[in-house]
Chains A and B, each alone.
Chain A
């Protein structure tokens, strides 16, 4: 007797094993054929073939998802290093500790959130950059993708971690990741691949499940729809584009951004100062022209790559042709090389040049896109309020929201400039100039002629060419002067300290000095205010201390300088800002992300035999009211011995800043730290005492408000 029911497992597979919506017609056809006399084997073959065909189609339709997920997950190692840094921060530990016994779940939530941000950013970028996806992929779909990405990532990461730990632990343990973000992204080692895998799977799966299959059809229709009738794009501008204003604006923004990034990269990598100590004008002129050409070519090239991208909707239906777009943008890119050169010198001129370039770019783009965007209309004058008493004299200012934005950007840029954050100031000023120029550029007439626009763009480029050359020459001259000065200072320093083989000097010669920011100075030396009629150092020889059997401690009042500097330097530069005072009243803080190093240096004037000294007691005054542990380390040095031998005798926390003893100090709290001296030691005598201050990670950028009062040398 022939069976009337198909194999249940095959039927289940047909219903659930095929991606997308269940195909009822296909299932009905297979069942009809089966009931007409086909075998179980035939049914199974049909089901498996249907699954294979369906999965193949789905995969082909989602190739953009696959490629995007692959590219985005390439950045995963760099993101992981970044998140590891956040997770290991002391402040995060403190927050987690506040959760008590459930801190593990809180830590897991933080970890998942940090990794989800990477995946969510990927989904957002994909949606933003996919033409035609905007209408389909919104709201519920987007939320679904976000949720799925996080939910999928956790188990996949767990499986990858277990798998890697079980089978590849020894291999991974010996693998080191690149130190720079770029190196981590380009790293193709097994370890980086293993890190990327869960991110790739989670992103691909989230996009797969959230992007409906019909998107392919909609994209197909977008591509296949007939192009709008027009003559050659070089003859006339299209008065009305079939693309929406939002699409055009978004893609124009993308083209400009791509060109800007490309020009910036080329400027940073290729625009170098001349190697001569005193370059001639012709050298500077030729180099300036070369740099500007590099900037323009790189900018236009970057835009062209995105413009000609197959997924770009303006590739075929752009409101303006690419040559005109490139000509317009060139008057903006031309300012990027001098901006890059200025930025390397941390010059405030970076912001000014950026604003000029952005202004020219906005004017050009505004003129050429009147056909797409609504032309700006001059703001109406003050309106009178005719329904009020004394209406003749009452006026109401027109509402211009962008005016407030521009003003805010201007103030924010000024603040950034005052804080020496030149690149941020450049970005803010550039945005401000762009908005202002965009809003204040009005159409002369509505009939746009391509030839006239070409002429106008070419004329604008010609007009800015000479000023751009001059600004670039200025940037090069400034850079050469800066470089020569630094070289001179380093040479003088090396010569002066060559005899003592000062490794600090050689280190500073190797590494180019950068204008780091400690309260606006590269480095600081804080000298104590001298006390009148008390001259202690150089320390007079005290036979009583040196004599055997003496138990009276030697008290040395601290009168040395405090050094404030930043790594990689090992001391303040010759141009260090010098001021008198005490750390109790002076605040020093970095304005960059490098840590601040604080040291107190005491020179004794005469050498003290180490064998005679049992302990050094450091008396200090603490008025630091920030929470966090402050450790003090003591180094003893013998300047007379070759190689300047040093002895580290340990570090101890400042008790009054320990969490258990912490309290607000209205006046400095005095305390003494004891540092026993080891015996035997690698140096026999010392004439310098260095105290290094180590605040905890949360206060890495602030000089502790702790002052050294005195040293007590306890005889042995």
Chain B
């Protein structure tokens, strides 16, 4: 994978949510985690679409759990971040942090109306 490929905003959020949830990272908690931080509804379908995209890039891996009655007998699909995914998260954080640090303080004022 090329070093110059950076994660998108939504992809980064999902990776962070999966990292945060650890072994309990499947569709429902990931969506709740994202909703909690974003403070708005999120489509579970789009979460799965992004997770499959990340999986095809080799940044996450998934495995099926056992079927449970409360889910109508349907299995959970657990996700975990791969080494490459973790490396990309760190790389993206490094770049973003550098960019934030390079920003002058007045421009961080949310009341300031920037063009």
Chain A interfacial positions (CB closer than 8 Å to B): 23-33, 35, 42, 45-46, 49-54, 57, 217, 220, 224
| Residues on A with beta carbons closer than 8 Å to the beta carbon of B74 | 24-25, 27-28, 31
CB distance from B14 to the nearest CB of A (A): 14
Bound state CA distance, A24 and B49, in angstroms?
14
| B interface residues, tally (CB under 8 Å) | 23
Interface digits, B25-67 against A, CB 8 Å rule (1 contact, 0 not)? Answer: 0111001000000000101111011000000100000001001
CB distance from A215 to the nearest CB of B (A): 12
* Majority secondary structure of chain A interface residues (helix, strand, loop or mixed): helix
Chain B interfacial positions (CB closer than 8 Å to A): 1, 26-28, 31, 41, 43-46, 48-49, 56, 64, 67-68, 70-72, 74-77
A-B contacts, CB under 8 A, total: 70
Residue of B27, B67, B68, B72 touching A26 (CB-CB under 8 A): B27
Q: Nearest residue in B to A217 (C-beta to C-beta)?
A: B56
| Residues on B with beta carbons closer than 8 Å to the beta carbon of A54 | 45, 49
The reply to whether A32 and B49 form a contact with Cβ atoms under 8 Å apart is: no
The reply to whether A50 and B44 form a contact with Cβ atoms under 8 Å apart is: yes
CB distance from A19 to the nearest CB of B (A): 12
| Residues on B with beta carbons closer than 8 Å to the beta carbon of A57 | 49
Given that A32-B70, A54-B49, A224-B1 are known contacts, is A26 also in contact with B44, CB under 8 Å in the complex?
Answer: yes
Bound state CA distance, A220 and B44, in angstroms?
25
The reply to whether B45 and A25 form a contact with Cβ atoms under 8 Å apart is: no
The reply to whether B56 and A46 form a contact with Cβ atoms under 8 Å apart is: no
CB distance from A612 to the nearest CB of B (A): 94
| Residues on A with beta carbons closer than 8 Å to the beta carbon of B75 | 24-25, 28
Residue of A26, A31, A45 touching B48 (CB-CB under 8 A): A26
Given that A25-B76, A57-B49, A217-B56 are known contacts, is A46 also in contact with B44, CB under 8 Å in the complex?
Answer: yes
The reply to whether B76 and A50 form a contact with Cβ atoms under 8 Å apart is: no
The reply to whether A25 and B64 form a contact with Cβ atoms under 8 Å apart is: yes
Q: Give 11 A-B contacts (CB < 8 Å), ordered by A residue.
A: A25-B27, A28-B71, A29-B26, A32-B28, A32-B70, A33-B44, A45-B41, A49-B43, A53-B43, A53-B45, A57-B49
The reply to whether A46 and B26 form a contact with Cβ atoms under 8 Å apart is: no
| Residues on A with beta carbons closer than 8 Å to the beta carbon of B28 | 29, 32-33
Q: Nearest residue in A to B52 (C-beta to C-beta)?
A: A57
The reply to whether A31 and B72 form a contact with Cβ atoms under 8 Å apart is: yes
Bound state CA distance, A24 and B68, in angstroms?
12
The reply to whether B48 and A25 form a contact with Cβ atoms under 8 Å apart is: yes
Bound state CA distance, A396 and B74, in angstroms?
70
The reply to whether A35 and B45 form a contact with Cβ atoms under 8 Å apart is: no
In addition to A29-B31, A53-B45, 15 A-B residue pairs with Cβ atoms within 8 Å of each other are: A25-B27, A25-B48, A26-B27, A26-B44, A29-B71, A30-B44, A32-B28, A32-B70, A32-B71, A33-B31, A45-B43, A46-B44, A49-B44, A49-B45, A51-B45
| Residues on A with beta carbons closer than 8 Å to the beta carbon of B70 | 32, 35
Q: Nearest residue in A to B55 (C-beta to C-beta)?
A: A217
The reply to whether B49 and A53 form a contact with Cβ atoms under 8 Å apart is: yes
Q: Nearest residue in A to B73 (C-beta to C-beta)?
A: A28
| Residues on B with beta carbons closer than 8 Å to the beta carbon of A35 | 70
